Structure 1
Amino acid sequence: MSAKTFVLLMYATEGDWDAADEATKAEYYRQHGDYDDQAADFGVTFLASEALQSVTTAVTLRRSGDDAEITEGPFAETVEQLGGFYLVTAPDRDAVLRHAMLLPEYTIEVREIAQM
């Protein structure tokens, strides 16, 4: 069975990180460390991962033919905002989901990368 590629999109309430105390931040770092350290146990290999700047730094581009509209800020007005991602390979989605249980309590969207 060949590995498939997935993206894990992590959403959290904007501002929670800035408001968190040092103990909470340390626990989040520990959970991300466990996630990293135990990847092989789930058959997961990391391709890329990044935390994103605040949604206040976002710029949205909307195109219609040759016309484009650029606006400051996020596309969607929601409580939870995209805060970071992991790009991984794994044998299947179930392995990705089981492994993702090691992460902090984010809302995590898992999508398989389309083969083009």
Structure 2
Amino acid sequence: MTTETHVLYNARCPVCRAEIDRYRGYAEARGLPIAFHDLNTRDLADWGIGADAAAKRLHVRQGGRILSGVDAFIALWRALPRYRRIARIVSLPGLRQAAHLVYERLLAPRLYARHLAREGRAAS
């Protein structure tokens, strides 16, 4: 089976790891062609993204295209039968833009700030 969807996430983020672990468990139990990659243990050159940019939001690669943020979540949800309904809902005009604003202005920056704080504590 060829892996069609690749997910790049930050396994050092407890929130990110918990969410991705749920998706991974679901995908593996059903033999879905999805691969999950921890940005902290990957060479990011094949993603064309630096570690800092990778840590700022979720990334999904499908068919050579790299999506990030809400678009990455929608792509991942579409690849998981149980989550296709939420992908359709979040993709609705207006709702997609609202989800993008919430993710980009609230959620992702807070998670990234926590990531930087954890990395700072680990370095000291």
TM-score, normalised relative to structure 2: 0.28
Higher strand share: 1
TM-score, normalised relative to structure 1: 0.29
Structure label with greater radius of gyration: 1
Higher helix share: 2
Q: Which has the higher contact order (CA 8 A, sep 6+)?
A: 1
